Amino acid sequence: MLRKFKDWYQQLFQIRDTKYQDVLDIKNHEVHIQNVAYFLAKAQFTDIPEMLGIERAVYGGKTPWDSAAFASELRHDTDRLYLVLRRHDRLLAFIGCTFNDVKSDAHITNIAVVPDYQNRGLGHFLIAVMIKKARQLELKQVSLEVRLSNVRAQALYQDLGFEKSGIKRGYYFGDHEDAVDMVITIGDSENAES
């Protein structure tokens, strides 16, 4: 009896792992956003210095995440996906997301776009990719936190269908700013991105 359970358990997680590998395996390729060509790729360890540079540009010289945090995330490639967008070999934007079967949640951990390429649809595109991946994995929601003061980002997330679901007091390291929890329920939605 125990052996049957063990075999069933191993088979269940092997199917899950294979499914995750298939869905999260992104081939590097060209994409067009607002009629401009970009190169979409999985983030690599060699991208970390440029990702930190984007954080410094976006967060007034600060890096909320350090290189060790990014490296740790990139090592967990079975349930996480980090993507970068480049144009003319310049890293312009990145996004990270964890996928959790138990919670049936895809959680966007980090997203940033260099200031001179904001409002060009890059953030929208990257979030839409993660929503699509979450749907392919048959998860029920996509969640994220955003600074209370970042009303532009909140507007973008609301345009994508996210709703405010709560406040995390003193969430951010350093300045202890509050975070707004936002979530979009995806399930079997008819407006699935293709």
Q: 108 with 149, same domain?
A: no
Split into its structural domains, the chain has a count of: 2
DSSP state letter for 121: S
- Residue % of the chain over a pLDDT of 90: 68
Q: 64 vs 5, which has greater pLDDT?
A: 64
What is d(CA 194, CA 190) in angstroms, rounded to the nearest whole number?
A: 11
d(CA 186, CA 106): 10
Active site residue 55: no
Inter-CA distances, 43 with 2, 58, 95, Å? 41, 19, 9
Residue 176 pLDDT class (50, 70, 90 cuts): confident
Q: Select which of 157, 163, 177, 190 is catalytic.
A: 157
Active-site residue (options: 20, 73, 82, 145): 145
Are residues 183 and 93 part of one domain? no
Pair (47, 103) in one structural domain: yes
Evaluate whether residue 192 is within a structural domain.
no
Instruction: Tell whether 82 and 121 lie within a shared domain.
Output: yes
Are 16 and 82 part of one and the same domain? yes
Are 174 and 106 in the same domain?
Answer: no
Q: What is the pLDDT of residue 3?
A: 65
Chain mean pLDDT for the chain: 87
133 and 149 fall within a common domain: no
Q: Please tell me whether residues 104 and 159 are part of one structural domain.
A: no
Whole-prediction pTM: 0.84
Q: Which residue range forms the structural domain that includes residue 175?
A: 140-187
| Cβ contacts of 87 within 8 Å, gap of 6 or more | 36, 37, 38, 39, 117
So what's the pLDDT on residue 193? Answer: 40
Reduce the DSSP state of residue 88 to 3 states and report it.
coil
The answer, yes or no, to whether residue 71 has pLDDT greater than 90, is yes
pLDDT for res 190: 43
Active site residue 193: no
Residue 194 placed within a domain: no
Least confident window among 19-23, 80-84, 146-150: 19-23
pLDDT at 2 (0 to 100) = 63
